[in-house]
A and B are shown apart, each in its own frame.
Chain A
Amino acid sequence: MNEFIFFINNVLISGLILGSIYALGAIGVTLIFGILRFAHFAHGDMMTMGAFIAFLLALGASALGIHGPLPNGFLVLPLAMVITAGVALGIDRAFYAPLRARGAKPVTLLIASIGVTLMIQGLIRLFFGVGTRSFFESEPKHLIRIPVPLDGVTRTINFTEPQVLMLIVTVIAVLVLHLFLTRSRLGKAMRAMADNPDLAQLSGINTALVVRVTWIIAGALASMAGTMLALDVTLKPDLAFNIVLPIFAAAIVGGLGQSYGAIAGGFLVGFAETMAVFNWAVLLRPFKSVLPDWIPNDLSIVPTEYKLTVAFVILVIVLLVRPTGIFKGAST
């Protein structure tokens, strides 16, 4: 039983957390692709930037002596999301909009977004240095241990307070996004423009407004995902740059342009990664006496250092079997 709880802690809980972060990032990537038809490579750094903005705000809140019922990182999250959304709008205005106005091809915008990546990372290193910071320098990170009331069980189910809040916040974000896309006029206009941009224009839909709303949502969700990642681990300048490729894999696996696909893809990739690095031999330990000797002690599918490859294996398989993604998405 202890072994099974080890599995819950290392696969189920970790997978949920990783999946939430991937899903929130992938929604932004997929929305931008659906509306603007380019792969926004700088999305990971937008997440990192959002996390640093939240970090600054949290530091400010601590300096003012504010300590609410939630960790400060969560208290300042709404404000950080608003600021990051504003910066995302500014980045679009300064770098992508002029290219679009000139009729640039998607690949030109992709290259421009790599430039934005380098710029954001440079700015973060310039202002914060290259070191690692933590949201929990001035307050404790609460660990929650749930004992399992069964005989012989010594291990507890462990998770942290930020992880619980993170899941709640993700569920709220996804529900709000769903209501926005299916109930509001602007949300429907976003789906219309992703579905058929020419017809959206012919219908008199204000496409410039839809583009702005897309950046606001993508920026806000990026800030949310980045902050949650930083709350779960630590904050560093290449925090989310390291996971931008799995996030793209999640968006593609889900079907580019499909928000629900991005959510499914995010959790799929998240769980696949945690399951691939899990040492399955642990689950066999209780039966060691009856099992043959040749079964090795390490049955993980890939070593932890190679976790990133899992996303790509899934990506390759999906592209071979179902090139448009799980939910039928756009192809370029």
Chain B
Amino acid sequence: MLIEMQKVVAGYGGAPILHGVDIAIEERDIGVIVGPNGAGKSTTLKAIFGLLKVTEGIINFEGRPITNTLPDRLVPMGLGFVPQEKNVFTSMTVNENLEMGAFIRQDDISATLDYVYEMFPPLREKRRQNAGELSGGQRQMVAMGRALMSKPRLLLLDEPSAGLSPRYVGEIFEQIVKVNASGVGVLMVEQNAKQALGLASKGFVLANGQNLFTGSGRQLLDDPEVAKSFLGGQG
């Protein structure tokens, strides 16, 4: 298992938001977490990345326990996180943003820079431009590129399509599939449930901080219960 959460209870100090969440994905998987607002989707990612306190349950990464480990230790272990908002250094150039993603590395980063620019061609021509001047879609590319610079084996994405125009949503999803094909496990939270489950090998439907349904993306899309409760109203 690349990442495994078992019966995780977590919150921001007050009442817990997650009440026993189970997540498990393999190296080759794209895992997608969907669910209504306030279900604890983003909280699940933050619990993995040590951004809030896990009070019960365990989280393992490649078989090693990482429960309540802080980001500065998780990044060197091989995890990358792309938050939903404020996910670029706006006053720094695209290239500097990518360099910051590789801060933990002591080796030569030029091959990884090339890999990221291959993955996101529009960034290459904007490499000297401040990330704050880019469009929403391009910023998302910078954010993902930054996280890829540490050569993670698992990439956590919090609503990568949020706020993007439909044209860019498809593009970003395509790139996520490409990243996954290059050997990076992906676990993401999405509002565009139908589209995201369409490319998921593992899907998790959360509600009120608990797993409601788990299965392959196709299984969830075809499940009339899931469709009725979460996918019905959405295009």
B104 within 8 A of A: yes
Contacts of B82-98 to chain A: CB distance below 8 A: 83, 86-92, 96
Q: Is the CB of B75 within 8 A of A204?
A: yes
Instruction: Note all chain B residues with C-beta closer than 8 A to A203.
Output: 75, 100-101, 103, 146-147, 150
Given A188-B100, A195-B91, A207-B72, A202:B86 Cβ within 8 A: no
Residues of A within 8 A of B74 (CB): 204
Q: How far apart are A63's CB and chain B's nearest CB, in angstroms?
A: 46
In the assembled complex, how far is the CB of residue B158 from the closest CB belonging to chain A, in whole angstroms? 11
**Interface flag for A243 (CB, 8 Å):** no
> Across the two chains, which residue of chain B brings its CB closest to A201?
B71
Is there a chain B Cβ closer than 8 Å to A309's Cβ?
no
**Contact between chains at A202 and B92 (CB < 8 Å):** no
Q: Could you tell me which residues of chain A, from 111 to 138, have a CB within 8 Å of some CB in chain B?
A: none
A188 and B99 within 8 A (CB): yes
A192 to B87, CA, bound (A): 12
- Closest residue of chain B to A197 (Cβ to Cβ) is B86
Once bound together, how far apart are the Cα atoms of A188 and B89, in whole Å? 11
At the interface, yes or no: A173 with Cβ under 8 Å from chain B? Answer: no
Q: Is the beta-carbon distance between B83 and A205 smaller than 8 angstroms?
A: no
Min CB distance, B31 to chain A, in Å?
19
The number of chain B residues touching the other chain, given as a range, is 20 to 34
The residues of A that contact B103 with a CB separation of less than 8 Å are 185, 189, 203-206
Does B204 sit at the interface, judged by CB under 8 A?
no
Of residues 203 to 225 in B, which have CB atoms within 8 Å of A's CB atoms? none
Q: A185-B99, A203-B103, A205-B100 are in contact. Are A192 and B71 (CB under 8 A)?
A: no
Nearest Cβ on chain B to A154's Cβ, whole angstroms: 52
Task: List chain B residues, Cβ under 8 A from A201.
Answer: 71-72
Chain B residues lying within 8 Å of A195, measured Cβ to Cβ, are 89-92
A206 partner residues in chain B, CB cutoff 8 A: 72, 103
Q: Which of B49, B91, B96 meets A202, CB within 8 Å? A: B49
Within 8 A of B (CB), among A199-238: 199-207
Interface residues of B in 27-85 (CB under 8 A from A): 49, 71-72, 74-76, 81, 83
**Chain A, Cβ-Cβ closest to B87:** A199
User: Are B89 and A192 in contact, CB atoms less than 8 angstroms apart?
Assistant: yes
Check A196 for interface membership: any CB of B closer than 8 A: yes
- Pick from A185, A188, A198, A205: contact of B92, CB below 8 A: A188
Contact between chains at B89 and A196 (CB < 8 Å): yes
A199 to B146, CA, bound (A): 10
List, in ascending order, chain B residues with CB within 8 A of A191's CB.
Answer: 89, 91-92, 96
Complex Cα distance, B86 from A294, in Å, reads 62
Residues of B within 8 A of A202 (CB): 49, 71, 75, 81, 83
A199 touching B83, Cβ below 8 Å: yes
Residue of A188, A189, A191 contacting most chain B CB atoms (<10 Å): A188
- Determine the chain A residues whose CB is within 8 A of the CB of B72 once the complex forms: 201, 204-207
Q: How many Å from the CB of B128 to the closest CB on chain A? A: 12
Pairwise interchain contact A196-B101, C-beta atoms closer than 8 A: no
Contact B90 A196 (CB under 8 A): yes
Inter-chain CA distance A193–B101, complex, in Å, is 12
The answer to whether A199 touches B71, judged by C-beta atoms less than 8 angstroms apart, is: no
CB atoms of B146 and A204 under 8 A apart: no
Whole-angstrom distance from the CB of B147 to the nearest CB of chain A? 8
Q: How far is the CB of B43 from chain A (nearest CB, A)?
A: 16
B residues in contact with A207, CB < 8 Å: 72
Complex Cα distance, B82 from A198, in Å, reads: 11
Q: Which residues of A contact B71 (CB under 8 A)?
A: 201-202, 204
Which single residue of chain A is at the shortest CB-CB distance from B150? A204
| Neighbouring A residues of B89 by C-beta, 8 Å | 191-192, 195-196, 199-200
Chain A residue with Cβ nearest B90: A195
A199 to B92, CA, bound (A): 13
For A198, give its contact among B83, B91, B147 (CB under 8 Å).
Answer: B83
Complex alpha-carbon distance, A188 and B142, angstroms: 16
Q: Which of B76, B86, B87, B92 contacts A204 (CB 8 A)?
A: B76
Residues of A within 8 A of B49 (CB): 202
Q: A192-B96, A202-B83, A205-B100 given. 20 additional CB < 8 A pairs?
A: A185-B99, A188-B99, A188-B100, A191-B89, A191-B92, A195-B91, A196-B86, A196-B89, A196-B90, A198-B86, A199-B83, A202-B81, A203-B100, A204-B71, A204-B72, A204-B74, A204-B76, A204-B103, A205-B103, A206-B72
**A-B complex: 7 closest residue pairs judged by Cβ atoms:** A204-B75, A204-B104, A195-B89, A192-B100, A205-B103, A195-B91, A192-B89
20 example contacts (A-B, Cβ-Cβ < 8 A) are as follows: A185-B99, A188-B92, A188-B96, A191-B91, A192-B100, A195-B91, A195-B92, A196-B86, A196-B89, A199-B86, A199-B87, A199-B89, A200-B100, A201-B72, A202-B49, A203-B101, A203-B146, A204-B103, A204-B150, A205-B72
Chain B residues engaging chain A, CB cutoff 8 angstroms: 49, 71-72, 74-76, 81, 83, 86-92, 96, 99-101, 103-104, 146-147, 150
